[in-house]
Amino acid sequence: MIGHFLLVGLGGLFGAIARQRISTLLNKRTISGFPYGTLTVNLLGSLLLGFIVGSGLASTWELIVGTGFMGAFTTFSTFKIENIQMGAHQKWKMLVAYLIISYGGGIALAFLGMIVGIKNAM
C-alpha cells in the first residue's frame, strides 16, 4: 500500500514540474491574456490519459503515469479560476472559446487517445 502512494507521488512530482514549465513558457508568450499554457496541458493530458486507459497499462505504470503524473500535470482548479477571471473581466468571447475548446477538445482528444491506445495494445 505504501508503495502505491510512493508511485503516485513520484509520478506527481514530475507531472507538476512538467505542467509548471509548459504553462510558464506558453503563458509568457501571450499578449491577449488567453491561458494557452493551461489549455495545452489539459488537452495534452486528456489525450495521454485516454491513451493510458486504452492501452491497458500494468497497474504499476497506471499509478505512476495515469494517477500520479497525469493527475499533477492537468489542472482543473487553475482552469476554473481562469474561467472566473475571464467572466469577472467580461471577456465573454474568450471565456466561451476557452470553455468550448477545453471541454469539447478534451473529450475528443481523450477518445482519440483511447482509440490509439487500444489499437497499440493489440
Nearest to 100 by CA among 83, 116, 81, 75: 83
71 annotated to a ligand binding site: yes
74 annotated to a ligand binding site: yes
* C-alpha torsion sign, points 39, 34, 22, 81: negative
Contact 38/78 with Cβ under 8 angstroms?
yes
How many angstroms separate the CA atoms of 87 and 104, rounded? 19
How many angstroms separate the CA atoms of 89 and 108, rounded? 29
DSSP state of 89: T
Sequence-separated (6 or more) residues with CB below 8 Å from residue 9: 68
Residue numbers belonging to the annotated binding site:
71, 74
Residue numbers belonging to the annotated binding site for Na(+):
71, 74
